[in-house]
Amino acid sequence: MIFLSCKPEDTKPKPVPQPEPAQLQFSVLPCMGSDTLLYNTNYSLDQGDTLKVSKFNVFISNIRLVGTNATISESNSYHLIRTHQPNTHNFVWTTSEFQTYQALQLTIGIDSARNCSGVQLGDLDPAYASDMFWSWTTGYIFLKLEGNSPQSKNFNQFVEYHIGGFSGSNKTQKTITIPFNSPLAISSGTHKKINLKLDVKQLFNGVNKIKISEQGSILSIGLKAAQFSSNFTQLITLRSIQ
């Protein structure tokens, strides 16, 4: 005699596979016009001046992807680009916000809330960014450009622009919107590399034309720094998306 037994059917719901986050790698290429930026190399500016760069640092923050139906923001979005340190030229944003986006948006500088938030971590840690920080009253230096020029009237023909200021009429943060050449679709498992150009020349060729012979240094918050920051809007452009 044969006895058959029946195993109860498993009625537990099967786990739903979770989508794989997308990864966006940002790569920033420091340039002087059409040339890759090299320190201690003479470059001709469009205003007739010559500039040899010895330091160029800039804060990029509040990175967003802008779409027709949604805008998403990178969390803790503060990046200090030191052009002499290639490891600071690249960073990765991981997101599970799957949409199609038409533009990239970012800010040159640090928002007012983070300028007054006390001791912070990451690229905003004053110990790490000590050369880009004034005080808790005046905040961070958003952009620092130093070098030499025969047109400079400063001692040893020194050129130095330390641009900051986070509130009032003299604030210097600038938000840039960079349209994509074609819509960027982000879906599960997407890996994209967004290549950006950081062009020193645009600091002298923007809304306010800067001649080193007339203005070879700006070292404090005020009208001159605010005018200089108007040229931030063309500082970063899109090279390609891979």
Low-confidence ranges of the chain (pLDDT < 50): none
Q: What is the DSSP letter of 216?
A: -
> What's the maximum distance between 2 C-alpha atoms anywhere in the chain?
109
Residue type, 61: S
* CA 185 vs CA 20, 27, 104, 155, 242: distances in Å: 15, 19, 13, 52, 12
Q: Which residues lie across from 141 on neighbouring strands? A: 164
- What pLDDT is attached to residue 179? 98
C-alpha span between 200 and 144 (Å, rounded): 11
* 228 exposure class (CB count in 10 Å sphere: 0-12, 13-18, 19+): buried
C-alpha span between 110 and 62 (Å, rounded): 8
- What pLDDT is attached to residue 135? 84
- What pLDDT is attached to residue 114? 85
* Cβ atoms of residues 189 and 106 within 8 Å: no
Q: What is the DSSP string of 14-56?
A: PPPPPPPPEEEEEEEEEEETTEEP-TT-EEE-TTS-EEEEEEE
Q: Which residues lie across from 164 on neighbouring strands? A: 141
- What pLDDT is attached to residue 81? 99
C-alpha span between 49 and 174 (Å, rounded): 25
